[in-house]
């Protein structure tokens, strides 16, 4: 099932590029899924890692995900899918609220995604400087608010020793990028 999810995501994102580079978009969902797999999370969660941006960024919808990968994968993807008809601020506040209140598997997915995005942003900042902020719908201050809010809310419901290591990696990356 994981290989099918990877192939489906690759097909869905065909021709898409990352925001501030020429890297094929599929590199991002692959890294997210690989991070989830490193922690021996469920096959459904790893599949959701591959598929997490399909509904937002391609012609496929949540019904397509459910039909091909089952209701659990579809639930995970749906929990992390932004409503693009809403403003940037509304979408990001919804993600913050979700990561605050969600079940663990949804938190694992969101934080794996946000960590990969933040590490890519950090790399781009080193290579391109502040020009990077031009590639985003929101600049430094809003990105700082968003990422700090994710870091603050992702830990709710976890004991310190209970969180996956990449949650700590995310907190460290937020400090490096935003001070």
Positions annotated as catalytic residues are: 56-57
Rounded CA separation 67/51 (Å): 13
Buried b (16+ CB within 10 A) or exposed e, 40-70: ebeebbbbbbbbbbbbebbebeeebbbebbe
CA nearest 109: which of 29, 55, 169? 29
Helix, strand, coil percentages (3-state) for the chain, rounded to 5, are 75, 0, 25
- What is the rounded distance in angstroms from the CA atom of residue 178 to the CA atom of residue 8? 35
């Amino acid at each position: 099932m994981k290989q099918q999810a990877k192939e489906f995501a690759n097909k869905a994102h065909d021709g898409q590029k990352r925001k501030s580079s020429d890297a094929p978009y599929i590199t991002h969902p692959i890294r997210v899924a690989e991070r989830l797999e490193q922690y021996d999370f469920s096959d459904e969660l790893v599949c959701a890692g591959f598929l997490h941006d399909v509904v937002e960024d391609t012609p496929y919808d949540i019904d397509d995900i459910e039909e091909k990968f089952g209701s659990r994968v579809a639930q995970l993807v749906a929990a992390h899918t932004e409503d693009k008809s809403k403003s940037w601020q509304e979408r990001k506040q919804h993600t913050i609220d979700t990561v605050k209140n969600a079940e663990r598997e949804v938190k694992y997915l969101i934080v794996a995604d946000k960590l990969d995005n933040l590490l890519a942003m950090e790399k781009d900042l080193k290579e391109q400087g502040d020009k990077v902020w031009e590639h985003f719908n929101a600049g430094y201050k809003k990105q700082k608010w968003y990422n700090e809010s994710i870091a603050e809310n992702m830990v709710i419901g976890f004991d310190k020793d209970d969180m996956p290591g990449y949650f700590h990696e995310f907190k460290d990356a937020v400090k490096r990028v935003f001070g």
